[in-house]
Amino acid sequence: MNILLINPPFDPEESVGESRSVRFVLNITPPLGLAYLGAVLERAGHRVKIVDYTARFPYPTLPEILREFKPDLIGLTATTPSFESARRLAGELRKLAPAVPLVLGGAHITCTPEAVRTEGLFAAGILGEGEETMVGLSDRLGDGRFSGLDEVKGIVFPEGNSVRKTPERSFISDLDSLPSPGYHLLPPLRHYHPTPASYRKLPVGILMTSRGCPFKCTFCDRSIFGNTTRFHSPDRVLDEVEWMLGNLGAREIRFFDDTFTLRQDRVREICAGIRKRKLKFPWTCLTAVKAVTPELLKEMKAAGCWQVLYGLESGDDRMLKLLGKGNAVEDNRKAVRWAKEAGLEVRGDFIVGTPGETMESLERTLKFTLETGLDYAHFNKFTPFPGTELYRRLAAEGYSFDFSHGCSILDHGALLFVPESLDREEYREWLDRAFKRFYLRPSHILKRLLAIRTFTQFRGQTRGALAIAGL
């Protein structure tokens, strides 16, 4: 059958709100989830079309797409910040193609299954990993209607005035059994624009070489991939890297795993394979301070890595404990130093404004970023997304949250939650001030200028500086 998969439009103004200059540095990357889903559905014999409205790509109008492709089934994906956009799009699809069932997948439906009843738009919702579940759903579709949905594991569907959840589906244990992501179904890489802090060369190819996170941070949702980490083999990773460089036009690779270095022996094999295959390309990764050593970071540098992104979260030990990080400020400081000594740039992610935060702890975090030599610091305001431990805790205390507008972590103007110990206006002002204080220092600007290696990087850094200045 014909299956249409859609990534809903991303409205930059809804994401950045009053901080509109930040729209120039938003991180817009290929939707790997839909790419994997498309590849699995094609392997099952279906015809697949992906429409990624977040990309800068000249798609035909939606009526033209529906008329030309004639889908039998339409799948939408949504996070909590993008759910309003998905809902609006689903309403339009229902009017244009009333006989075609709509299925919703992604983080939002997984954490809030009752969303499947939204305005009667969706026939079913996919919970967690979607590849095997979407194939099972398509097998249950005939003449525009689903049958036997209760026999499909890992879904939720409307049933009268309530919803019905089927038994959970097991996670995919052998990731190498999945086909490579269907990048051929997406716009060319040049139509995406990662944040300027994250690349030297464009276009950037995005790879996920593992799924699942064993850590238990209280602000993080792990409902899609779970707490058990599963890995692609080093050879599979290297084959995909080589294909992206040779066939997809990628000039840089970003390993998008939650913690790329979780299995250090595997990373060493990947680094050795890069050298053995004589692959020359810059790459970056996301990782954790408790998953690196000085020796590993040096090996990564020798294999082409130029930057690591740590989830540092706070410069205050009390806050790190409340966030469930399992490490201390000194551990953060040490990991940054190790990376710098290995010759790597360091990006630091921080989550601010969580329960228990005070102005004193915020200032300690800012001081930490200024003292440790970080190349980039991202001060992400806390938003209590469903699926996180903090959301459950706050909901139990009687809090309720409206995610219909302004729930992006980048929108400093819309604060869904402010700790009792912080003044709302003072907190909002601190967010803008922290970015300016970190990035607009003369010493930092000089360091960034000296670190530029390509004209592409220079252009991105210039846009980033202008965005921060406009806060």
pLDDT digits (tens, 9 = 90+) for 190-238: 999 899 899 999 999 999 999 999 999 999 999 999 999 999 999 999 9
Question: Residue 145 class from Cβ within 10 Å (0-12 exposed, 13-18 middle, 19+ buried)?
Answer: exposed
Distance between CA 23 and CA 468 in Å, rounded? 10
Distance between CA 149 and CA 127 in Å, rounded? 13
Amino acid at 108: H
Instruction: Using pLDDT thresholds of 50, 70 and 90, give the confidence band for residue 17.
Output: low
Nearest by Cα to 54 from 84, 16, 80, 85: 85
Extract the tokens encoding 380: 């992400």
pLDDT reported for residue 22? 57
pLDDT reported for residue 331? 98
**Mean pLDDT in residue range 17-46:** 84
Distance between CA 229 and CA 256 in Å, rounded? 14
**pLDDT at residue 20 above 60?**
no
**pLDDT at residue 470 above 70?**
no
Distance between CA 210 and CA 442 in Å, rounded? 39
Residues 115, 119, 125: CA angle, nearest 5 degrees: 35
Task: Indicate the pTM of the whole model.
Answer: 0.93
Provide the percentage of residues in the chain whose pLDDT is more than 70.
Answer: 95
**pLDDT at residue 16 above 70?**
no
Helix, strand, coil content of the chain in percent (nearest 5): 45, 15, 40
Distance between CA 313 and CA 356 in Å, rounded? 14
Cα separation values, 321 from 216, 217, 325, 409, Å: 11, 10, 6, 21
Nearest by Cα to 104 from 8, 9, 183: 8
Instruction: Using pLDDT thresholds of 50, 70 and 90, give the confidence band for residue 459.
Output: confident
**pLDDT at residue 18 above 60?**
no
CB atoms within 10 A of CB 104: 26
Distance between CA 390 and CA 395 in Å, rounded? 8
Output Rg (C-alpha) for the chain, integer angstroms.
Answer: 22
pLDDT reported for residue 258? 95
pLDDT reported for residue 450? 85
Contact 50, 134 (CB under 8 A): no
**pLDDT at residue 398 above 70?**
yes
Give the up-direction half-sphere exposure of residue 183: CA atoms within 13 A in the CB hemisphere: 21
Instruction: Using pLDDT thresholds of 50, 70 and 90, give the confidence band for residue 469.
Output: low
Cα separation values, 78 from 90, 107, 228, Å: 11, 6, 23
pLDDT digits (tens, 9 = 90+) for 309-365: 999 999 999 999 999 999 999 999 999 999 999 999 999 999 999 999 999 999 999
Q: Which domains does the chain possess?
A: 2-165 (3.40.50.280), 194-382+417-469 (3.20.20.70)
**pLDDT at residue 21 above 70?**
no
Extract the tokens encoding 40: 């699995």
Amino acid at 350: F
Instruction: Using pLDDT thresholds of 50, 70 and 90, give the confidence band for residue 52.
Output: very high
pLDDT reported for residue 13? 59
Contact 146, 124 (CB under 8 A): yes
**pLDDT at residue 405 above 90?**
no
pLDDT reported for residue 102? 98
When the pLDDT of each residue in the chain is averaged and rounded to a whole number, the result is 93
pLDDT digits (tens, 9 = 90+) for 353-395: 999 999 999 999 999 999 999 999 999 999 999 999 999 999 9
pLDDT reported for residue 19? 55
Instruction: Using pLDDT thresholds of 50, 70 and 90, give the confidence band for residue 25.
Output: low
pLDDT digits (tens, 9 = 90+) for 120-166: 999 999 999 999 999 999 999 998 899 999 999 999 999 999 999 99
**pLDDT at residue 410 above 90?**
no
Contact 227, 214 (CB under 8 A): yes
pLDDT digits (tens, 9 = 90+) for 173-189: 999 999 999 999 999 99
Question: Residue 119 class from Cβ within 10 Å (0-12 exposed, 13-18 middle, 19+ buried)?
Answer: exposed
